[in-house]
Amino acid sequence: MFSQYWAIMRREIRYMWRDKSMRTILLFVPLLGLFLFAGVYGSQQLDHITTAIVDLDKSSASRQLIDGLENAQHLQVVAYPDTYDRLEELIEKGRVVIPEHYGRDMALHYQARVAVFIDGTNMAYATNAAGAVLAVTRTLGAEAGVKTLIARGITPGQAQEAYRSIEFREEAWFNPTLNYAYFLLLAFALNMWQQCCTLASCMNIIGENGLRSWLQIKASGISTFKLFFAKSLVQIGVFMLIVLPVYLIAFAVLKLPLASGWPALLLLTLVFTLSLHSLGTLMSSISRNAVNASRYGMIVALPSFVISGYTWPLEAMPQWFQPLAWLLPQTWFFQGINYLTFKNPGWEFTGHYLLALGLMTVICYSAAALFTRGVKVPRRLRGD
Amino acid sequence: MKQILNIAHYEFVHIFKDRILLMIVFIVPLLYAALFGIIYVSAILQQVPLGIVDLDRSAASRAVVQAFENTPNFKVIPQVDTYAGLEQAMKNGTVRAGVVIPEDYAQKQSQHRLNEILTVYDGSNLIYGLNTRKYFQQVLNTFSAGQTAAYLAGMGMTGQEIANVMDTVSFRLQVLYNPTFSYATFIFLGLVIMILHQIGLMGVGLTVTREKENNSWIQFMSAAVPAWKIFAGKALPYLIAGIFNYSLLLWVAAFFVNVKIEGAVALLLLLGLLFEVIIVSLGFLISLYVPNSLQVTRYIMLLSVPLFILSGYTWPGTHMPAVLNGLARLMPYTWMAEGSRLVTVKSCGPAELGVTLLVLTVFAAVSAYLAATFSKNRKPTAQTGLAVNGTVSYPRK
């Protein structure tokens, strides 16, 4: 009874292995992606933002202010240009004088106004810098204010009170050090993985009924369901197998956070793999050849990460677009990964995600079955 | 010249015959640009859902709540009003930030004792995290200043005196080039160039493999047409389409997505021309050496994410290991993305772009030279044993 399933499964493993480019892609690309992105985000935080200070006052007071800035977190003062024009030049040519963007620059007029400039070209820098600068300026502003009050004959205690009646404690939950590697590394690697899986699952049907051997399979009387069920089992198994080392390295070696624990993560991954495979199978069933199947699959898979709202949040996209984004399995997966790795939202929450992905799987497989049933063996393959 | 035009005409016929190729060459870039445009059109992250846990419920604490209600950056979610509720809402994403006002807030304030307000934000998405932190700082800076002014007024100082004290050091924060912190300006152009890069390669990458699969490449190899003419003829339609798409997408970016595109148009066109020459030449080379269309499609597709991340367009190259940064410098995408950003956002002129233009010119010259001088005596790719999908002949119905 099961020997036929077993035979088809063994044949599928051989099939996948024989497809050399697919073999290379499945074996190496997800891991290569992981290592590459681990390298890119190795420094984890955007600190040492290059800073220039223009001191037009050159008094002891301004010197004090400079000290404060030099000691500020995330800042690295690398230049002290003499004039404002020279500073502008540095920002403009920033990447030439000091490699990469001139993160933050400050022109200093003590006892009048301190102008703070931030290079807004790169947002990763700019938002980081703006938050840090605002915190530093509040502290420095308060210190200066206290001194002025004392100079005016107010007791130090009262002066302190005027400025320090409220303290703001700031906590970043789930990712307290604002670590970019925690945020992006695994997600990007999984993005590569889902693209590889899309490419592979796009071969599911066309890889059979696009070959001359399809005639033999039809003639042999094996049920189409049995054939594709056994094939799909192997492919899904392979997709899961290649994501395991990615997870292992990410969580065990690179020590990325995993708040929800393994069972929820693996279950979400499995159900997503099913839905992704069903989508690929659907693409495969409607295509005229393998190239088109791969194209259709990738046209969806490529932008899916941006659509998923993993980086630029879904809530910031137009209202009417948001429900459309949730039609993609990738949106559920990447959102789910974000919640599971950082937050552990509980099974009730995860259940919705599993249900949605499961529903998509059923719909896509059913549609693929409908398309495949209707297809006759094309004349070109019939050989008559 | 006639030979080149003949080959170009033949290639055009192919493009118009293959409906999917036609879409890839003329429609898909616009579709992708429209899609990303829709995603980033709001450009600024506002209305961050915020939960305020006011344990004091006094007039004084109400003032803090109001400070947060009065900014478009936050949207206060009234359902969240306990600490446990805040924790839960942060976990399931109902709110992305929270403020906790302690229960003895008003009492401490009247006694002039140190008060502590807790602000929390969601670090699991750093776009939310960093923006929220910035918004918090803005609200709190304003609020603290108000508090200090009130305190000084309570000590009997006049308005002018208070202003003098508080202006001892005043900080004016100015964000250059992208003052509104527009994400569209930040990322959209990079995505557009990636679209042109990928879809361009996808189109021209099949120009030779298609001939190989139809067994017609041998006609080109044996015809009395020099290699460079074959390249020129085959590349011309894609070059025209590429430059058309480049201009179209820049126009879409500027007029529909409100991306900041300033700087010299001539310089932008020059960059686009160099970039398209590189893409067309590289695509032709890939097509020449990869055995079939399926493999071209597979490999090219997987390039986009690594190229984009490595380019330093988002995460700066200074914060990457030198090896990876060096690797990125070998990719035309890195230079093109950086160059076009310098022109459009920073309005840089030819002087600042010197290195970028030089590198892109070298890339264009080398890739075009290699593509134009391919050997016509090359043996066809050998078939190696029994293989299934993805080999010299791939499945087709």
Residue B204 shares a structural domain with residue B130: no
A196 or B130, greater pLDDT:
A196
Residue B87 has pLDDT above 80, yes or no: yes
- Within 8 A of A49 by CB-CB distance, chain B residues are none
Interface probe for A, chosen from B19, B207, B319, B384 (most Cβ of A below 10 Å), is B319
Chain B: nearest CA to A95, how far in angstroms? 10
Give tens-digit pLDDT for B366-397.
999 999 998 887 666 666 666 777 777 788 87
List CB contacts of B164: < 8 A, sequence separation 6 or more.
A148
Among candidate residues A278, A288, A321, A291, the one with its CA nearest the CA of residue A303: A321
Question: Looking at the domain assignment, is residue A67 inside a domain?
Answer: yes
Kindly report the nearest CA distance between residue B224 and chain A, in angstroms: 31
Q: How far apart are CA B80 and CA B83, in angstroms?
A: 8
Interface check B173 vs A, CB under 8 A: yes
Which residue from A95, A131, A317 is facing B133, i.e. has the nearest CB? A131
Give the side-chain half-sphere CA count within 13 A for B313: 29
- What pLDDT is attached to residue B1? 84
> Under an 8 A CB cutoff, do B172 and A381 touch?
no
> Across the interface, do A141 and B170 touch by the CB < 8 Å criterion?
yes
Cα–Cα distance, A143 to A130 (Å, whole number) = 20
CATH number at residue A63: 3.40.1710.10
The owner of tokens 């003829």 is B233
* B384 located within any domain: no
Same domain? B36 vs B52: no
- B77 and B111 belong to one structural domain: yes
- Could you tell me if A183 and A346 are in contact, meaning their C-beta atoms sit under 8 angstroms apart? no
Q: Would an 8 Å CB–CB cutoff place B186 in contact with chain A?
A: yes
Parallel, antiparallel, or unpaired for β B48-54 and B97-101?
Answer: parallel
Distance from CA of B2 to the nearest CA of A (A): 32
Does the pLDDT value for residue B248 go beyond 80?
Answer: yes
Residue A59 has pLDDT above 90, yes or no: no
Let me know if residue A174 belongs to a domain.
no
pLDDT (0 to 100) of residue A13: 94
Helix (H, G, I), strand (E, B) or coil at B385: coil
B198 C-beta neighbours (distance < 10 Å), count: 24
User: Is A171 domain-assigned?
Assistant: no
pLDDT in tens, A35-44: 999 999 888 8
Could you report how far apart the first and last alpha carbons of chain B are, in Å?
38
Contact A166 B144 (CB under 8 A): yes
Collect all residues of chain A within an 8 Å Cβ-Cβ radius of residue B175.
117-118, 120, 126, 130
- Say if residue A244 is in the same domain as residue A319: yes
Tokens 């003098």 sit on residue: B164
Give the nearest chain B residue to A148 (CA atoms): B165
Would A169 be classed as within a structural domain? no
Nearest 5°: the CA angle B353, B300, B294 is 155
Q: What is the mean pLDDT of residues B258-287?
A: 94
- Would you say residue A33 has pLDDT above 70? yes
Which chain B residues are closer than 8 Å to A210 by Cβ? Answer: 394-397
B197 touches chain A (CB under 8 A): no
B56 and B137 share a domain? yes
User: For residue B105, with 0-12 CB atoms within 10 Å meaning exposed, 13-18 middle and 19 or more buried, which class applies?
Assistant: buried
At residue A93, the pLDDT reads: 47
Residue A184 lies in a domain: yes
Q: Whole domain around residue B157: which residue ranges?
A: 48-166
pTM of the model: 0.90
Interface of B with A in 83-122 (CB under 8 A): 90-93, 109, 112, 114-122
A61 within domain boundaries? yes
- What pLDDT score was predicted for residue B303? 92
pLDDT band at A126 (very low <50, low <70, confident <90, very high): confident
Range of the domain at A87: 49-164
Tell me which residue of B107, B109, B116 sits closest to B147, measured CA to CA: B109
Q: Which of A60-74, A336-350, B241-255, B350-364 has the lowest mean pLDDT?
A: A60-74
- pLDDT higher at B365 or A4: B365
Helix ranges restricted to H, B18-170: 19-22, 28-40, 59-69, 83-91, 105-110, 126-154, 159-166
Chain B, window 41-60: residues with a beta carbon less than 8 angstroms from a chain A beta carbon: 41-42, 45-47, 49
pLDDT at B389: 77
| Same structural domain, B14 and B71 | no
Q: What is the largest CA-CA distance in chain B?
A: 98
Q: What is the mean pLDDT of residues A276-295?
A: 94
Position A94 scores a pLDDT of: 38
Same domain membership, residue A340 and residue A192:
yes
C-alpha B11/C-alpha A377 separation (Å) is 31
Residues B20 and B99 in one domain: no
| B313-343: b (≥16 Cβ within 10 Å) or e | bbbbbbbbeeebbebbeebbbbbbbbbbbbb
Residues A32 and A119 in one domain: no
- Boundary residue ending a domain (A164, A187, A212): A164
Look at residue A109 in the predicted model and tell me its pLDDT: 37
User: Cα–Cα distance between A7 and A353 in angstroms, integer?
Assistant: 34
HSE, side-chain direction, 13 A CA sphere, residue A195: 30
Residue of B nearest to A205 (CA): B395
CA distance A231 to A220: 17
From B8's Cα to the closest Cα of chain A, the distance in A is 23
Q: Select from B166, B191, B211 the last residue of a domain.
A: B166
Q: What is the dihedral of CA B240, B241, B242, B248, to 10 degrees?
A: 110
Q: In whole numbers, what is the pLDDT of chain B averaged over residues? A: 89
The residue type of A333 is: F
Together in a domain, A37 and A53: no
Do B22 and B138 fall within a single domain?
A: no
**Would A235 be classed as within a structural domain?**
yes
pLDDT score of A46 more than 60: yes
> Are B36 and B102 in a shared domain?
no
Amino acid occupying residue B160? Q
Q: Decide which of A325 and A171 is more confident.
A: A325
Contact B39 A306 (CB under 8 A): yes
Same domain? A218 vs A262: yes
Average pLDDT over residues A180-188: 93
How much is the mean pLDDT over chain A?
Answer: 84
Instruction: Quick: pLDDT tens for A213-264.
Output: 888 888 888 888 999 999 999 999 999 999 999 999 999 999 999 999 999 9
Residue A173 is assigned to a structural domain of this protein:
no
Residue B381 is predicted with a pLDDT of 63
What's the pLDDT score for residue A139? 77
- What's the angle, vertex CA A277, arms to CA A202 and CA A253, rounded to 5? 110
Select the more confidently predicted residue: A128 or A296: A296
Task: Summarize the confidence of residues A294-302 as an average pLDDT.
Answer: 91
- Reported as a pLDDT band with limits 50, 70 and 90, residue A110 is very low
In whole angstroms, give the CA distance from residue B53 to residue A366: 48
Q: Report whether pLDDT(A98) > 60.
A: no
Q: Which residues pair with A112 in a beta bridge?
A: none
Is residue B225 within 8 Å of residue B152, measured between CB atoms? no
Average pLDDT on B37-42 reads: 92
In this predicted structure, what is the pLDDT of residue B396?
83
| Mutation for testing the B interface, residue in A35, A97, A170 having most B CBs under 10 Å | A170
Whether B89 and B109 map to the same domain: the answer is: yes
Among the three residues B140, B166, B192, which one is the final residue of a domain in this structure?
B166
Residue A99 phi, psi (nearest 5)? -55, 145
Instruction: State mean pLDDT over A303-310.
Output: 94
Question: Among residues B115, B137, B166, which one ends one of the domains?
Answer: B166
The count of C-alpha atoms lying within 13 angstroms of the C-alpha of A283, restricted to the half-sphere facing its C-beta, is 25
The answer to whether position B173 is within a domain reads no
pLDDT-based confidence at residue B315 (cuts at 50, 70, 90)? confident
In a domain, B380, yes or no: no
Instruction: Name the residue facing B133 among A170, A199, A206 (closest C-beta).
Output: A170
**How far apart, in whole angstroms, are the C-alpha atoms of residue A40 and residue B315?**
8
The proportion of chain A whose per-residue pLDDT surpasses 90, expressed as a percent, equals 50
Residue A383 has pLDDT above 90, yes or no: no
The verdict on A199 and A341 lying in the same domain is yes
Instruction: Give the pLDDT of residue A170.
Output: 83
| Range in A113-117, A221-225, A331-335, B209-213 the model is least confident about | A113-117
- Integer-rounded Cα radius of gyration of chain A: 29
Same-domain status, B233 and B353: yes
B386 in any annotated domain:
no
- Tokens at residue A129, please? 């810098």
Q: Report d(CA A137, CA A144) in Å as an integer.
A: 10
Whether residue A194 sits in one domain with residue A78: no
Mean pLDDT for B233-260 is: 94
B216 and B365 in a single domain? The answer is yes
Residues B37 and B99 in one domain: no
Closest CA to B316 of A153, A317, A342, A180: A180
Instruction: Kindly state whether residues A131 and A206 are assigned to the same domain.
Output: no
Q: What is the structure's pLDDT at B383? A: 62
Q: Regarding predicted confidence, which is higher, A267 or A47?
A: A267
Residues B366, B278: contact at Cβ < 8 Å?
A: no
**Least CA distance to A100: which residue of chain B?**
B318
The pLDDT of residue B186 is above 70: yes
> What is the number of structural domains in chain A?
2
Show residues of chain B in contact with A125, CB under 8 Å: 316
Q: Which of A135, A164, A193 is the last residue of a domain?
A: A164
More confident residue, B30 or A97: B30
- The residues, any chain, with a CB within 8 Å of residue A159's CB and separated by 6 or more, are A145, A146, A149, A150
Q: Does the distance separating the beta carbons of A116 and B171 come in below 8 Å? A: yes
Please name the member of A113, A148, A343 whose beta carbon is closest to the beta carbon of B124: A343
Q: Among A106, A140, A164, which residue terminates a domain?
A: A164
Q: Residue B122, Cβ neighbours under 10 Å: how many? A: 25
**A119 and A187 both lie in a single domain:** no
The answer to whether the Cβ–Cβ distance between A124 and B133 falls below 8 Å is no
- Pairwise CA distance, residues A117 & A101, whole Å: 13
| Cα gap B86→B64, rounded to integer Å | 17
Q: How far apart are CA A15 and CA A13, in angstroms?
A: 5
> Residues 6 or more apart from B253 whose CB is under 8 A from it?
B33, B37, B188, B189, B192, B259, B261
**One domain, residues A279 and A185:** yes
Q: E strands within chain B?
A: 48-54, 74-76, 97-101, 115-122, 171-176
Indicate the number of domains in chain B.
2
DSSP B195-229: HHHHHHHHHHTTHHHHHHHTT-HHHHHHSS--HHH
Beta carbons of B128 and A173 less than 8 angstroms apart:
no
Same domain, A313 and A216: yes
Q: What is the CATH number of the domain that holds B111?
A: 3.40.1710.10
The answer to whether residue B65 scores a pLDDT higher than 50 is: yes
pLDDT number for residue A381: 55
Asked if B282 and B239 count as a contact pair (C-beta separation under 8 A), the reply is no
Residues A106 and A132 in one domain: yes
> Of A46 and A342, which is predicted with more confidence?
A342
